[in-house]
Amino acid sequence: MASFVIHHIEGEQFLNKLEKERGIENDVLEDHDTFLKNALKKAKEVYHLTKEACIADDSGLCIKELNGWPGIMTHRFLGENATDNERNQSLIERCKNLTNKEAEVVCVLVYYDGKQKPIIGTGVIKGKIVDSPRGANGFGFDPIFELENGKTLAELPPLIKDKCSARALAAENLKKQLDIKIFNI
């Protein structure tokens, strides 16, 4: 997914997407077996391109009864050219006969500045796979991932989703760790 360079570290983190702000292509091959290893690889590659502190992530959908599948392959399990709709329909079909459709969305963010040990933030939200897509907001598997409140991610208003997503939780977790590191709290 995205990688960012931090331009300003005071109070709120100021993050800029590399592709937009800097014109840097950042298509790092996600070839590791964990979200953490993929995010760390991306952060280090971006750091080596920019020589600036950066944050990179990896995330995906993990279905409990399928031993965490598709996991790190969430975006690629049907191939690079599959659409969100094709992936969602495939996931629904794969889960239709499961007795337990519990799933998690996992996001790992890695801060890397080339000087110190990487700082890692993790966010996880729990829910389940639904039998048919619901909602018009979001992207990816949002229409088929139902939260414990009974709504899919795609049924949430964007501002609400932005506060409760796995990425938001990972960012909050990372921010706390950065505050401790930067301000010696």
CATH number of the domain encompassing residue 173: 3.90.950.10
At 50 the pLDDT is 84
- The pLDDT-based confidence of 4 (bands split at 50, 70, 90) is very low
Query: What is the arithmetic mean of pLDDT over 48-68?
Result: 92
Q: Which of 58, 84, 113, 142 is flagged as catalytic? A: 58
Whether residue 58 lies in the annotated active site: yes
Query: What is the arithmetic mean of pLDDT over 80-86?
Result: 94
What domain count does the chain have?
1
No. of helices (H) and no. of strands (E), the chain: 5, 7
DSSP element (H, E) containing 64: none
pLDDT higher than 80, residue 74: yes
**What amino acid is encoded at 120 in this protein?**
I
> Domain span at residue 118?
3-183
The one-character DSSP state at 82 is: -
Which residues, at least 6 apart from 76, have a Cβ–Cβ distance to it below 8 Å? 30
| Coil, strand or helix at 120 | strand
Euclidean distance between CA atoms 74 and 61, whole angstroms: 6
Of 7, 29, 59, nearest in space to 171 by CA: 59
pLDDT higher than 80, residue 110: yes
